[in-house]
Chain A
């Protein structure tokens, strides 16, 4: 054995040793070590059981499929006609399953608004009665191959994006913009009027434009937007414009009136979150490509319904693992305060699940500034997320990190082991129905979802 001529040291533990090394001008880095599984010996034992080659192989397979996915936007359809197992009485919502009584304010608001929009209720009182009565069914978007931001309510008549990957289709509703919007729980006249316009004008115009354009490569827009300062969750400025740029010539060629075409393009141009919804359907398509792989510990869904936070894991079929949703650390719009904020809500954390949003913070430092972070801190979030992911995907590179790929494919084992929880950028809704957006925030997924899934994993496979 030859001793190294020049030491390059990794210091794990006491920080003073690292400082001593620096004092000697030694090449050294420091690991801020923390005990595995938060120091819980029972979890540490379970983790050891999952350190086996069949898990690594299964994860490898999941990663390959997720990275190979290439979702395309192929059209617009009406929810009840295109979404599987959807009918006149089905109202989809974000996050894990939940009954009316436990629904948060914004979800209730959105359901009531949707009932008014559908013409089933004349007013809020009637809408509430119907919602309570059991007349209509509630189901998670995710269980219908769909995703919806915030309350994520998709009602039967709504126009939806249709995204296809490898012959399988995924759906998302159309983005209404910010303020008094249904997905944040608003249900006033302004909100309903906008939804009707989206159904009667926006949807049909886009549908025809997409027929003319042919399938739109969403992965290409997403990759390009990452180079332009979007993290694709809270910031879709570039992607929305790229999307508009791509569709504009085809919108112009549709048979609609000049006024209608202008309205659609203005709406898309002014709404810097417009691309979020097709991006979410794309992210869902990617993650679903790696779902249901035996022995795989890849996390394929992170979703919230405003009351609970839920996750799904590739090797655990369609089981949800839930924990109470927490309130994001929020920056409020003028006039709103801490006590107005609803707990975390929306399927939009599918963006983080797929390696965007908080995981791509480094490329969109502006978003991290929500919590007073710097560009350096933003990069740190991305680097930190890489510690719980299985891969850095070169097809989604980040200029600021020397074009390193964004971290993708969260490994359940790594989350529990390191205690590093997925970092999520998110919109924040008013906790009362009828209000709408109150601000933007950031938070971490709750550990309980992951420890529950870990226990279930060991039981399921009898290890």
Chain B
């Protein structure tokens, strides 16, 4: 047993700090007792009682710091004392911590000029928080899903009466004043305003519009256009874009609304005094035309028609942006090496709207496509995990994401599925969406290329060629950079198309060896 001390002259520290250092020292190996105290008479008495007193301490005054250690060895004692000194030095350096709040109420009180509250709590609690935000006069985006529809109606009616915006529930994407909320892309500021009820739909349209830029992209949430909700947010959003002086053209995106809601929305759009391009995904374009608005068939089409209007051109439908001969050449190269039995397309999607768009386009080009989100009940897959003939799977559905991150973030399941499809001798084309942006994986292409190369090797070993077609939804401004992601995929032998719609058409052309050209 060795008793050792060190006295630091004039190093005054608060007793509470010193008690903590003492405790820490006592936990060190080989230390029996330790104490760090100021040399007051009272403390010296305490040290005597604890059997830690040494003669040197007599000279120590109330402003002198005493470090004393009772240890098993000279070494352990010395080590403990130098550690005490290190801790005391480190004590001086304050740690900087960012301010966070425990409750929305406290945040509202402390940041009275906050103007939007983004809510992603579990669904059952989201409405309560959203109501608190609305009561405080804030706009709200509710990312959470599984909010009862009555709650959604209550929130939206409350907001409507007070001139506030409720995006969601189940709103994954919005861009307001250049700031992306939830899953969104970094899109330039410009003259097009978007209101959309579909997350990846907004992402695809806004990314293509990066050429000219957007003002805002307002998300409504997936239930907004139901009869119960009556499109309250879609209508509020439309009016907001109507009043926004920077918005010159408006794009409306949603799955086909209920007829009553569609009528109301189209009426308001017609009266807003600005050109409106409408894509009711899979809906009847005539309805839009009758209202005097511009119908779009695909997401890309909606974006390109908006750009045409800005250029004072007559909006026309885009099939491919590449020259036709270039497309024919690509189709030829890819399909030439396919075996006759390779006839099916397998689409593996992370974006729900992109999958829906693929199903609609493929129905017209190649007929029946099976899916976990099929267009008709007879085409519904028993399990999203087993493909059949032509198949497109939305891998962002509950079945896949229960307990694991979304496929835009976690690529495990998609990688496994790519390899599985590659082993199927009847598969001609694997069709992929790659979504970039804020909230997405930081290198989606990097996550995929390994599996894609391996898939191609599997096919090659079995004497086949496997075609992989993809589109990348994103912009140069995105953290992942569109061009870098495309390059990575191209290096792995992927046919990368500029949009989801073009990728789908390309896949259909390859699988049919150019047989569907006349249907385009």
Binding site for B on A (CB under 8 A): 1-14, 16-17, 20-21, 23-24, 26, 29-36, 270, 331-335, 366-367, 369-372, 374-377, 380, 383-384, 386-387, 417-418, 420, 439-440
Contacts and interface: CB of A to CB of B under 8 A. Distances in A.
Contacts of A16: 439
Contacts of A332: 19, 23
A440 B19 contact: yes
Interface in B165-191: 165, 176-177, 179-182, 186
Nearest to A234: B16
B140 to A, nearest CB: 10
Interface string B105-126: 1111011011111111110010
B264 interface: no
B139 interface: yes
B118 A11 contact: yes
Of all A-B residue pairs in the complex, the 5 with the closest CB atoms, nearest first, are A13-B120, A366-B14, A334-B50, A331-B19, A14-B120
A2 B108 contact: no
Given A7-B179, A13-B143, A369-B20, A376 B97 contact: yes
Interface size on B, as a range, is 35 or more
A380 B102 CA distance: 11
Contacts of B128: 36
B108 A10 contact: yes
B192 interface: no
A3 B165 contact: yes
Contact of B114 (A10, A386, A420, A440): A10
Given A7-B116, A10-B133, A12-B118, A30 B101 contact: yes
Nearest to A370: B16
Given A29-B107, A32-B102, A1 B49 contact: no
B138 to A, nearest CB: 7
A32 B439 contact: no
B50 A366 contact: no
Contact of A439 (B19, B99, B104, B106): B19
A7 B117 CA distance: 10
Contacts of A380: 97
Nearest to A5: B177
A420 B128 CA distance: 18
Contacts of A23: 438, 479
Contacts of B104: 10, 12, 31, 33
B163 interface: yes
Contact of A36 (B17, B46, B118, B125): B125
Contacts of B492: none
B372 interface: no
A284 to B, nearest CB: 26
Nearest to A439: B19
B177 A6 contact: yes
A400 to B, nearest CB: 12
A235 B105 CA distance: 31
B243 A2 contact: yes
B482 interface: no
A3 B177 contact: yes
Given A3-B218, A20-B439, A370-B19, 17 more contacts: A6-B177, A7-B177, A8-B111, A8-B116, A9-B116, A9-B181, A10-B114, A12-B107, A12-B129, A14-B143, A24-B179, A29-B99, A30-B100, A333-B19, A334-B33, A387-B101, A418-B103
A380 B100 CA distance: 9
B144 interface: yes
A3 B240 contact: yes
Nearest to A272: B15
A26 B119 CA distance: 16
Contacts of A34: 102
Nearest to B163: A1
Contacts of A417: 103
B164 interface: yes
A439 to B, nearest CB: 7
Nearest to B186: A24
A268 to B, nearest CB: 15
A172 to B, nearest CB: 24
Contacts of B115: 4, 7-9
Contact of A376 (B94, B102, B186): B94
B427 interface: no
B118 A17 contact: yes
B438 A24 contact: yes
A9 B118 contact: yes
Most buried by B among A6, A11, A270, A386: A11
B236 interface: yes
B500 interface: no
Contact of B16 (A1, A6, A33, A366): A366
Given A1-B240, A7-B177, A12-B121, A333 B114 contact: no
B315 to A, nearest CB: 26
Nearest to A48: B128
Interface in B80-106: 94-97, 99-106
Contacts of B176: 3-4, 7
A397 B66 CA distance: 35
6 contacts: A13-B120, A29-B100, A29-B111, A33-B129, A370-B19, A376-B94
A52 to B, nearest CB: 15
B216 interface: yes
Contacts of B111: 8, 10, 29
B190 to A, nearest CB: 15
Nearest to B22: A334
B220 interface: no
B188 to A, nearest CB: 14
Nearest to B176: A7
Contact of A1 (B95, B99, B243): B243
Contacts of A32: 100-102
Contacts of A33: 103-104, 121, 129
A331 B22 CA distance: 9
B52 interface: yes
Contacts of A376: 94-97
Most chain B Cβ neighbours within 10 Å, of A16, A17, A34, A370: A17
Nearest to B182: A17
Given A9-B116, A10-B114, A335-B49, A3 B244 contact: yes
Contacts of B107: 10, 12, 29, 31
